[in-house]
Every structure is written in C-alpha cells, then in structure tokens.
Amino acid sequence: MGLLLPFALILGLLAIALGLGGFYLLFTEAYTLGQRLWMLLVGSFFTCLGIVAPTAVFMNAATSELWTFDRRQQILYRVRKRFCRQHRFEYPFAEIARIHLKQHDHDADAVYRIELTLTSGRKLALSPWNGAHMRGVEMKMIEHIRAFLHR
C-alpha cells in the first residue's frame, strides 16, 4: 500500500491535466460541433478519473490497526480503522496455535515481524516488517504475549 497512494495521486493529476487540456483546446481552437462534443466528453472523463481514482485509493487505505488481548473474555480483538469505516475481528485464544517471529530476506537484509498462526492455518501479522535493529524488541514482545496467553 505504501507506493499505491502516491502512484494514484500522480496518475490522477496527469488525468486531470489531460482533461483540462481537452477543455482548453475545446474553447481556444476552431473545431466542428462533433469534435467539440467529443473533446468535452474525453475532457470530462479524464478530469473525473483524475479525481475519483486517488480518492478511492485514499479511502480504502488502512489508516490504523489496533490489537487488543482481552483476558477476561479470552478473545483477541483486531480493529482496523479506515477513512470512512471500521472493521472488527475476533479471535478466541483457543484458536491461537502459535506466535513466532517471521523472517524474510529483503534486498539482502533480513526483516522481521510478529506473526500469529491460528488453528485453521491462517496467519496474521501482528506487526509490520521491521529491520534487524527491532528483532530484540519483537522477541521481547513475543515473550510477553506468550506469558499473557499462558496465565
């Protein structure tokens, strides 16, 4: 998601520029009525595309995610807040099969994240990918979560 929003914004601005360029030609050059209507249609399309595409990407971008371990109810809550809506997921502690540090090689450097595996086999990322400098912190977090779950 990191590069999708800037990419959509750049393409959106390009589409708006194409649309406005069509409007400029529409009113400054001598064209037949059919050509003017076609330019009006194309200019409107590109202008709308330039506004709608980045807006749709922005509205669907995950803005925040909160994980809450509720010992009393024995449930792990995951709340994802987006621009206009909020999604809530519940995972009972009994469904948690494993919590571990996942390693991935990225451009010859190792990156790490905390990953939770459910009994169904589904994997959930509890943290984003972090560099080696965060490995110790994430291992400590895993130890705390395991201790919390086994109390």
CB 114 within 8 A of CB 141: yes
The one-digit pLDDT tens for each residue of the chain (151 residues) are 456 666 667 777 777 777 777 666 666 776 777 777 777 777 777 777 777 777 777 776 657 888 899 989 999 999 988 777 788 999 999 999 999 988 888 777 888 889 999 999 999 988 888 888 888 888 898 898 888 887 7
Q: What DSSP designation does 85 have?
A: -
Number of H helices, E strands in the chain: 3, 6
Quote the longest CA-to-CA distance of the chain: 80
Q: 148: closest CA among 103, 122, 125, 116?
A: 116
Q: What is the pLDDT of residue 34?
A: 76
CA distance 80 to 21: 40
Q: What is the pLDDT of residue 5?
A: 61
pTM of the complete model beyond 0.85: no
CA distance 136 to 141: 9
How do 109-118 and 123-125 pair as beta strands? antiparallel
Q: What is the pLDDT of residue 12?
A: 72
CB 5 within 8 A of CB 58: yes
Q: What DSSP designation does 83 have?
A: S
Q: What is the pLDDT of residue 22?
A: 67
